[in-house]
Amino acid sequence: MTLAFGMLGLVVTLLLAIHAGIQGIIGTLAMAGISVLWLVPIHTVPIVLDSQGWKTLLTESNHKVSSLFLFWVAGIREAMNGLLPVLRVGGELTGIRLAAQGGTTKALAVASVVVEVTLTLLSQIIFTLSGIWLLVGVGHSQESIDSIITATLVAAVIVSVFILAQHGRPFTFFKRLLKYAGANERILGWLGEPFLFDHAIKRLYQDKGKLLKAMLWQMAGLFAGVAETWFALWLMDHRVGWGPALILESLSQATRSASFFVPSGIGVQEGSLVVFGSMLGIQPDVSLALSLVKRMREVIFGLPFLISWQWFEHNRMHKKNQAIRQAASG
């Protein structure tokens, strides 16, 4: 199914490119030239801000996780969710495992990612609403705006249910469900003591100051992404204000997040940028060029994180096998 959605996305992207004019897209990209590579180091800013939000949730009175380590793990999480067909879940699972290996408890690692994902969804809703508010200001059809607002409200309801579920000992319930379904001992063993996870989540939700601080870091990261969009358009000699850049970034990002079942949001990102760009008077060839620039940055920025992660895993397995061999020979 994932492959089918990916192929459909490629077809949609190709049709959009043909309709917009491939020559126009190439010309817009040529105008920016090699300068678009500046977007790669600039993207460290939102990742640093994001990882600081995560660090806020992971920090305990007797233990602090390295900011540099969390930046590396946050980069891996984003690269996995953005470049690999993992339904935006693989990055979070890997983040939990790496955070636990980085010195924090498994319970806190799990709880921090669960709560962080929830705060990310809330931040995304606020970010999207800010884009809608600006879109209303530039006077577009009420029908289009109403449909976006409806989708945002549906997302808000889903997040509310998700938060309520987290207060109802979800891991304990999930393990009981697996046990009832006849899951093998290996899976049940991986879950460990679910009440520890539930307790860690409860403790995080009780610290409102910590939640607010983490969410503010996330919001700062989202707005840093607006600066990326603005700068990319500026490089392509298409000057827009901060407002249009925020509308493009917030609404296209919300659309891509909602289409998590499409690998890398292929076709979804391109279509949303064309639609919302047209509302702002931006030509389709410019919108598609912007999408290609974003994808270029995503690949160049994300690949080193994925490669370093594979090297880390290989090195860890090598040391583990070496220790087993030494124990066996001793």
Which tokens sit at 289?
A: 């060029």
Domain assignment of residue 316, yes or no: no
Alpha carbons 291 and 265: distance in angstroms, whole number: 11
Domain that holds residue 203: 2-15+24-311
Q: Vertex 127, ends 124 and 131: CA angle to 5°?
A: 135
Q: What is the pLDDT of residue 64?
A: 72
Domain assignment of residue 329, yes or no: no
Provide the number of structural domains found in the chain.
1
Which tokens sit at 102?
A: 């980085």
Domain assignment of residue 324, yes or no: no
Instruction: Give the residue carrying structure tokens 């292929």.
Output: 266
Residue 241 and residue 146 in contact, taking contact as beta carbons nearer than 8 Å:
no
Q: What is the pLDDT of residue 178?
A: 66
Domain assignment of residue 57, yes or no: yes
Domain assignment of residue 328, yes or no: no
Question: DSSP string covering 122-169, please?
Answer: HHHHHHHHHHHHHHHHT---HHHHHHHHHHHHHHHHHHHHHHHHHTT-
Whether the pTM exceeds 0.85: the reply is yes
Nearest residue to 170 via CA among 94, 122, 121, 114: 114
Nearest residue to 112 via CA among 187, 155, 103: 103
Q: What is the pLDDT of residue 145?
A: 67
Q: What is the pLDDT of residue 188?
A: 55
Which distant-in-sequence residues (6+ apart) come within 8 Å of 67 by Cβ? Answer: 51, 52, 55
Nearest residue to 192 via CA among 105, 134, 121, 278: 105
Domain assignment of residue 321, yes or no: no
Q: What is the pLDDT of residue 40?
A: 96
Q: What is the pLDDT of residue 144?
A: 64
pLDDT tens, position by position, for the chain (330 residues)?
677 877 888 888 889 889 888 898 999 899 889 999 999 999 999 999 999 999 999 987 556 788 999 999 999 999 999 998 877 788 999 999 999 888 888 889 999 999 999 999 999 989 998 888 888 776 655 666 677 777 777 777 887 887 887 777 777 777 677 667 666 556 556 666 778 888 888 999 999 999 999 999 999 999 999 999 999 999 999 989 999 999 999 999 988 888 878 888 888 999 999 999 998 989 999 999 999 999 999 999 999 999 999 999 988 887 877 877 777 775
Domain assignment of residue 81, yes or no: yes
Domain assignment of residue 40, yes or no: yes
Residue 130 and residue 265 in contact, taking contact as beta carbons nearer than 8 Å:
no
Alpha carbons 221 and 273: distance in angstroms, whole number: 20
